[in-house]
Amino acid sequence: MSKSKIKSYLINLAAAIVIYLIFLLLFSNGVVSRTFIDLFTLCCIFATAAVSLNLSTGLLGELNLGHAGFMSVGAYSSALITLSAGRPGNIGILLFSLLIGGLFAGLSALIIGIPVLRLRGDYLAITTLAFGEIVKVLMRSLKITGGGQPLTGISLDTSYTLGYWALIVTLVVIYTLIRSRHGRAIISIREDDIAAEACG
């Protein structure tokens, strides 16, 4: 990695830390209400989802309507692991459950992606939309997920720190991918998939 890239990363990291410290100061001194903190955390969560969705819709140029389905798989997996551990407020268990939830979401994406990624355009959009609907029906039908009832026993305390830094890590990963060789390959598929396949 060149010195200019390292310098750029350090500047961005310093900016992220400064912004976090400003929010921390405002939150800890009671300048903003608890409602705003919860809203800020939700904004970080949905911004993380939107940035990751940009991989398929923006970078690859294919409309993926099943993104919420993958989020649901990861969220339910994480919640069930946290509940089974019996200590929903433990940060170590939370981080472990988030990791496992991400793995389950990735596994479901791999399973659905093997046959679906051969499709393009409207066909891909309709198929991924169907996947999202299937996940919704399953979550409402399976006994392990509580069926139509919400899961209980999970702490409602939100961690804006975890939400903020998860967003920052996601931004860094996506930015690094876009500027990498693999990112340029994905962009070339968006511009002309036949030419990209011919070039290997």
User: In which band, very low, low, confident or very high, does the pLDDT at 100 lie, cut at 50, 70 and 90?
Assistant: very high
Where exactly are the structural domains of the chain?
65-157
Burial of 6 (0-12, 13-18, 19+ CB in 10 A): exposed
Ramachandran sector of residue 153 (left: φ over 0; alpha: ψ -120 to 50; beta: rest): left
In this prediction, residues 31-56 reach a mean pLDDT of 85
pLDDT value, residue 107: 92
Please report which helix (H) or strand (E) contains residue 184, including its range. helix 181-191
Angle between helices 160-178 and 3-28 (to 10 degrees): 160
pLDDT by residue (tens digit) across 60-85? Answer: 777 888 888 888 899 888 888 888 87
In this prediction, residues 120-137 reach a mean pLDDT of 86
- In this structure, which amino acid lies at residue 8? S
pLDDT value, residue 85: 78
Residues 6+ apart with CB under 8 A from 200: none
Single pTM value for the model: 0.75
